[in-house]
Amino acid sequence: MRLVLPVFFLFFLLPGCKKTIEKQKENLIVEAMTDGKWKVASFTDDSSDLTSSFSGYSFQYYENRTVDAFQNGTLDKSGTWTEDIDNLNISANFAGVSNPLALINGTWHIEESDWVYVIASQGNKLMRLEKI
């Protein structure tokens, strides 16, 4: 009976531990995204290099899942962003915009990341974001 009680409690604590780990992962992503401004360092669609379309743009992500796009330091548009930790995806939505911001809309799969850069793909598009 003495062994049954600790095992019983452990059984109920394990799902809580998994939720705690998932929350910590989410917190790390949010902290990385919201700590500083980002720029598009490279952007390709198929074989077309569209990086210059983002010249002068910077992006500030916020914990409330909004994002501001600045062009030459002036707020151009605001949008939203979300993360999907389990699938390594991040999504962005700037409503009613044209290119180049429209190119960022949608769900992106994170191919590689570090505290200061993210490489993500969406179909034939490949984007590298870097902290400024």
Q: Count the domains in the chain.
A: 1
| pLDDT of 87 above 80 | yes
pLDDT tens-digit series, residues 41-75? 999 999 899 999 999 999 999 999 999 999 999 99
User: Quick one: pLDDT at residue 66?
Assistant: 97
Mean pLDDT of 22-49: 83
Q: Which domain holds residue 58?
A: 4-131
Q: Quick check: 61 and 67 in contact, CB under 8 A?
A: yes
CA distances (Å), origin 92, targets 57, 70, 84: 15, 15, 12
CATH code where residue 43 lies: 2.40.128.270
Q: Quick check: 104 and 92 in contact, CB under 8 A?
A: yes
Burial class (CB in 10 A: 0-12, 13-18, 19+), 92: buried
User: Quick one: pLDDT at residue 25?
Assistant: 54
Of residues 107 and 22, the one with the higher pLDDT is 107
pTM of the model: 0.79
User: Quick one: pLDDT at residue 86?
Assistant: 85
